[in-house]
């Protein structure tokens, strides 16, 4: 067991840190959360800076440890997160890289890396959430096109996306996992309608996407027809790998700020508050170690995230909610004021036990795939 980084990894860290010191002051001012075109331009601009400096593809072909260092250092330095680049860099891109033809990789990957095109995700549907394979959006073959009709939901960045990685049903007669295909759909296609959805935090972070006879070229299908479920699983296991590294670093910083606030406003004198903060510190320290453990495991197994990812997500999503609950206890009455720090984050934290597999589904996965308990009826 070794927690020390190699000289090459330390050198990568030092060079990145030096570049961040120079690059971050040149960033434009952060746009307001409601300014979608501004957010798109800001996030893509940051990706372009990474590209020019040679860091654009860290998410794809760097070793898991290098990726860990990259995410740790960028978050520590206060650099922007992937933002609008999320689906392209962390979902659609890796899927195309793994399953696409040479032509498809050449068409779609470079614009993602250069920060020129934004992708969104059309997976979930109103009646297909945790049971994603029950999706019903229909794609009918018509010559060289699929004609797609249906609706998608929880689609982040739909308003500003160029492309949508879309799961459609191409064989309604097949068992539900075997009749699905993966398509890259231009968001500018006729028949695509985007309607923003307001979250309980008040913001429009995602949207519904309605598809009415949208024509998508068959050439835009990645993988074989009806093999989309397997193609998709490549993407989802990727999402559950190192995706939360930056967030754990960020949570540890927030936790220190909450402790400082408690010291400044007197709540620190309450031993129950101190001990709750201490326990959370233990949790987040352990989550960081678990991340290092999972990354080392992925490194040893050739980059495949192991079962540790579900274990991590379960513990992390609850710790994040506890963090903002403690912050509210420290804030007292001010925790009801949306202008205060951490209040919106407290609301947003509720999504963490739902998005990317609810905690209940994750526990089923852990129980069946890790512990070997029988599938229920």
Task: Give the tokens for residue 341.
Answer: 């720090």
Member of 293, 341, 344, 345 binding other proteins (CB under 8 A) = 293
Is 4 an interacting residue with respect to other proteins (CB under 8 A)?
A: yes
The span from the CA of 88 to the CA of 27, in Å, is 22
Contact with other proteins (CB under 8 A): which of 233, 275, 332, 336?
Answer: 275
Please tell me the count of residues contacting other proteins according to CB under 8 A. 53
Classify the phi-psi angles of 85: left when phi > 0, otherwise alpha if psi is within -120 to 50, otherwise beta. Answer: alpha
> Mask of contacts with other proteins, 230-269, x by CB under 8 A?
-------------------------xx--xx--x------
CA dihedral 296, 302, 307, 309 (to 10 degrees): 60
Distance (Å, whole) CA 99 – CA 323: 39
Are 122 and 209 a contacting pair, CB within 8 Å? yes
In whole angstroms, the minimum distance from the beta carbon of 94 to other proteins comes to 23
In order of 58, 152, 156, 157, the CA distances from 208 in angstroms are 31, 6, 9, 11
Closer to other proteins by CB, 22 or 375: give it: 375
Strand partners, 197: 206
Question: Segment near other proteins (CB under 8 A), from 22-30, 208-216, 280-288, 334-342?
Answer: 280-288
Q: Which stretch binds other proteins (CB under 8 A): 117-125, 132-140, 243-251, 308-316?
A: 308-316
Active site residue 239: yes
Catalytic residue among 239, 297, 299, 334: 239
Pairing of strands 163-169, 119-122: parallel
Question: What are the residues binding other proteins (CB under 8 A)?
Answer: 1-6, 9, 65, 255-256, 259-260, 263, 271, 274-275, 277-279, 281-283, 285-287, 289-290, 292-293, 295-297, 299-300, 308, 311, 314-315, 360, 362-364, 366-368, 370-377
Catalytic positions, written as ranges: 239
């Amino acid at each position: 067991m070794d927690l020390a980084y190699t000289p090459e990894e330390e050198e990568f860290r030092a060079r990145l840190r030096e570049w961040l010191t120079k690059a971050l002051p040149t960033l434009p001012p952060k746009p307001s959360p409601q300014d979608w075109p501004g957010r798109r331009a800001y996030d893509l601009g940051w990706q372009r800076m990474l590209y020019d400096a040679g860091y654009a593809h860290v998410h794809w072909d760097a070793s898991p440890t290098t990726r860990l260092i990259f995410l740790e250092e960028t978050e520590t330095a206060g650099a922007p997160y992937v933002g609008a680049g999320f689906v392209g860099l962390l979902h659609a891109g890796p899927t195309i890289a793994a399953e696409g033809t040479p032509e498809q990789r050449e068409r779609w990957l470079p614009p993602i890396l250069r920060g020129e095109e934004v992708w969104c995700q059309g997976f979930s549907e109103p009646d297909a959430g945790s049971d994603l394979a029950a999706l019903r959006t229909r794609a009918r073959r018509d010559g060289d096109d699929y004609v797609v009709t249906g609706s998608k939901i929880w689609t982040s960045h739909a308003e500003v996306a160029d492309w949508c990685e879309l799961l459609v049903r191409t064989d309604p007669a097949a068992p539900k996992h075997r009749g699905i295909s993966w398509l890259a759909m231009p968001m500018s296609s006729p028949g695509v309608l985007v309607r923003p959805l307001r979250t309980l935090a008040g913001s429009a972070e995602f949207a519904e996407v309605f598809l009415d006879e949208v024509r998508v070229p068959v050439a835009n299908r990645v993988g074989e027809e009806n093999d989309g479920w397997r193609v998709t699983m490549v993407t989802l296991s990727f999402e559950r790998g190192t995706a939360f590294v930056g967030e754990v670093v960020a949570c540890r910083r927030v936790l220190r700020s909450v402790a400082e606030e408690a010291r400044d406003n007197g709540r620190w004198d309450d031993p129950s508050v101190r001990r709750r903060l201490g326990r959370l510190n233990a949790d987040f320290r352990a989550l960081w170690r678990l991340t290092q453990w999972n990354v080392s495991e992925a490194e040893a197994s050739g980059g495949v995230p192991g079962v540790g990812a579900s274990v991590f997500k379960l513990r992390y999503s609850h710790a994040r909610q506890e963090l903002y609950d403690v912050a509210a206890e420290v804030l007292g009455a001010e925790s009801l004021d949306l202008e205060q720090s951490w209040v919106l984050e407290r609301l947003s934290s509720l999504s963490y036990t739902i998005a990317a597999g609810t905690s209940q589904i994750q526990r089923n996965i852990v129980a069946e795939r890790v512990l070997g308990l029988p599938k229920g009826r």
